[in-house]
Amino acid sequence: MAGRQLNFATKGEQYEKAFDSIASGFLSIVRTPRGSDDYGIDALCHVRFPLDAISSTVGGTFGVQVRGPGADLQFGGVANGKWKGYEIEWLRSLAVPRYLARVSSDCSRIDLYSLWPIFMVLVQSRTPFRIICQCDEPATDPQVLPSRSAEPVEGGFGDAKEWTVPLGLPFLSFTRVDMNDATFVANSSSLLANWLAIDRLNVIRALLGVPYVQGVREWRTNDFTTTVIVLKQFMAWSGSRQTVIELAKALEPLLVNLGVHLESQHDDAAYSLVPILEWIDSLTLLGGMGRGLLDNIKRTRDAAMSPNQQPSG
- Same domain as 204, residue 261: no
User: What is the spatial distance between Cα 264 and Cα 300, in angstroms, rounded to a whole number?
Assistant: 13
The domain boundary, picked from 193, 208, 236, lies at: 236
User: What is the spatial distance between Cα 138 and Cα 120, in angstroms, rounded to a whole number?
Assistant: 23
Q: Which of 215, 219, 287, 216 is nearest to 248 (CA)?
A: 287
Q: Confirm whether 294 is domain-assigned.
A: yes
Q: Confirm whether 173 is domain-assigned.
A: yes
Q: In what order do the strands lie in the sheet with 73-76?
A: 73-76, 130-135, 161-168, 149-152
pLDDT means over runs of 10, the chain (313 residues): 56 92 96 78 95 92 93 90 95 95 96 97 96 95 95 93 97 97 96 96 95 96 90 94 95 98 97 98 97 97 91 69
User: What is the spatial distance between Cα 200 and Cα 172, in angstroms, rounded to a whole number?
Assistant: 17
The domain boundary, picked from 178, 201, 236, lies at: 236
- Same domain as 86, residue 121: yes
What is the extent of the structural domain holding 87? 7-236
Q: Are 129 and 153 in contact (CB under 8 A)?
A: yes
- Same domain as 141, residue 268: no
Q: Confirm whether 312 is domain-assigned.
A: no
Q: Confirm whether 2 is domain-assigned.
A: no
Q: Which of 167, 171, 169 is nearest to 187 (CA)?
A: 171
The domain boundary, picked from 215, 236, 257, lies at: 236
Q: Are 91 and 122 in contact (CB under 8 A)?
A: yes
Q: Which residues pair with 132 in a beta bridge?
A: 74, 164
Q: What is the pLDDT of residue 12?
A: 82
- Same domain as 99, residue 40: yes
- Same domain as 192, residue 57: yes
- Same domain as 263, residue 176: no
- Same domain as 275, residue 227: no
- Same domain as 162, residue 285: no
Three-state DSSP at 141 gives coil
User: What is the spatial distance between Cα 289 and Cα 297, in angstroms, rounded to a whole number?
Assistant: 12
Q: Confirm whether 309 is domain-assigned.
A: no
- Same domain as 168, residue 281: no
- Same domain as 286, residue 138: no
Three-state DSSP at 5 gives coil
Domain count across the chain? 2
What's the pTM value of the predicted model, to 2 decimals?
0.91
Burial 46-80 (b: 16+ CB within 10 A, else e): bbbeeeeeeeeeeebbbbbbbbbeeeebebbbeee
User: What is the spatial distance between Cα 63 and Cα 98, in angstroms, rounded to a whole number?
Assistant: 5
Q: What is the pLDDT of residue 40?
A: 86
Q: Are 111 and 167 in contact (CB under 8 A)?
A: no
- Same domain as 275, residue 216: no
Q: What is the pLDDT of residue 309?
A: 87
Q: What is the pLDDT of residue 215?
A: 97
Q: Confirm whether 290 is domain-assigned.
A: yes
Contacts of 7 (CB under 8 A, 6+ apart): none
- Same domain as 173, residue 253: no
Q: Are 142 and 107 in contact (CB under 8 A)?
A: no
Q: What is the pLDDT of residue 2?
A: 59
DSSP structure string for 159-189: TSEEEEEEEES-SEEEETTGGG-HHHHHHHH
Q: Confirm whether 307 is domain-assigned.
A: no
